Amino acid sequence: MSSLSVVLVILGIYMVVMVGIGLAGRKYGGSMNDFMTAGKQGTLLLVTGSYIGSHIGNGIVVGGAEYGAVYGIGGMWFGVGAALSYLLFSAVMSRRVYRGNCVTLSDMLEQRYGDKVTTILMAVLNGAANTAVMAGQIMAGKRLFEYIGVNPVLGAIITTLIVIIYSSMSGLWGVMMTDVIQSTVIFITVIVTVIFIGSQGGFQLMAQNLPAESFQMVPFSMETFIMMLGPTALYGLVSSAAFQRTVSCKEEKTAVMAPVIAACMIIPFVILPVLIGMYGKALWPDAANGTIIFQVLFEAMPPVLAGLLIASICAAVMSTCDGGLVTITANIVSDIYYKHINPQASEKTLAKMTTWSTVIVGLIALILSLQFSSIISLLSMAYTFMTAGGLVMIAGGILWKKGTTQGAIASFLIGIACVIVNKMGVQMPMASIFPILPSLIAYVAVSLMTQLKKG
């Protein structure tokens, strides 16, 4: 049986299992709050697996292999940034989020500043950033379809439709359970793949065929290094998915330890997809970097191994998109519509809003995925906007008691403006994290000025 046949068979089996998990998880999603928090049934295994699953699918595996082909060993830093984001969240945010029962970022801002403007701004920013992250996931699926000879646009449409259908059945509990399953399969199959590469003389081949800079830990400029590592790591402080996982936990200890355990498991793992990408580049120097992992799996691996890993990556793409839709639905339906437009809305009305939000956001993510060529570039853009607009507003409110609503709004506007100006062509040093500095200055200055006026 060919690798393609194995992939299709395994994907079919997985889809049946995923639908079954969605049906089983309905009892944890009876209300809007349960839908977003898994009925607070998150165990250490469930939540840790979900943390791992949110990055391991396309970002660390597909994106890591791409960066391995481009940069060599240095391509691992994006994955390291993902692990650091979890450590930051655990150290700074997890206890506060759990004790405050903050399902969304807007919930925390509402508790801290007590106004509508900051909560709405955050809901809009968070929804937009997560839509971009979803688009990055869809791109990974699109690349697989492209490689096997299926129209990539058709592949992206199929991926998106499956996600929309599944999202209407399952809340956060279903997302986390599928994350656990596919993370386990990906971990095992990637490790076995690298062992197989070594057994075939792959490491010697890399040493012979790749340039010396491919084996340098940091083969690029310091600015590129910071842009690869920084936004992803800092995004951990404003990750809406992490907020939902935290509130879903049965106990506070789980909320604190789950991201730490996930980070400890991810850090040694991130080098493996990079090695797969390097092996592919050593075999096929002219191969497309974005699809290098699929070429290695289809053409250099045993069919069953290739089928398991590729099917798991596709499944991770769909499940991560599903988690993104749950988050964005919370922003639209809960943070904006229910809290500020129609507080008297019935469960029936909220259910309709949820369905329509899921469909519309899924289509927007599909369109966005067709406009970009690099998965990690799209993810980095989303993380940059999110950290520029939201990091100071959230972290400043936690760490500095003198911060005011006006300061928070100013930091948001200045941070976003800096990113937009940079995208228009104005050069900035370390552009992915530079906007945080003027955002912080605006937060402190405006907060102090408004305090003086109040005094």
pLDDT score for 58: 64
Q: What would the pLDDT profile of 203-218 be if each residue is shown by its tens digit?
A: 999 999 999 999 999 9
Find tokens 């607009």 and name the residue: 389
pLDDT score for 44: 95
pLDDT score for 162: 75
Give the CA-trace dihedral at 297, 83, 395, 326, to 10 degrees: 40
Could you tell me if 313 and 140 are in contact, meaning their C-beta atoms sit under 8 angstroms apart? yes
What pTM, to 2 d.p., does this model score? 0.85
Reduce the DSSP state of residue 444 to 3 states and report it: helix
> Which of 172, 175, 180, 376 lies closest to 262 in space, CA to CA?
180
Ranges of the chain whose pLDDT falls below 70: 1-3, 22, 25-31, 57-58, 148, 166-170, 316, 319, 374-376, 452-455
Domain ranges of the chain: 3-375, 400-455
Reduce the DSSP state of residue 60 to 3 states and report it: helix
Could you tell me if 185 and 308 are in contact, meaning their C-beta atoms sit under 8 angstroms apart? yes
pLDDT score for 128: 87
Q: What would the pLDDT profile of 274-329 be if each residue is shown by its tens digit?
A: 999 999 999 999 988 878 888 898 889 888 888 888 777 777 677 677 777 888 88
2 φ, ψ to 5°? -75, 165
CATH architecture of 3-375: Up-down Bundle (1.20)
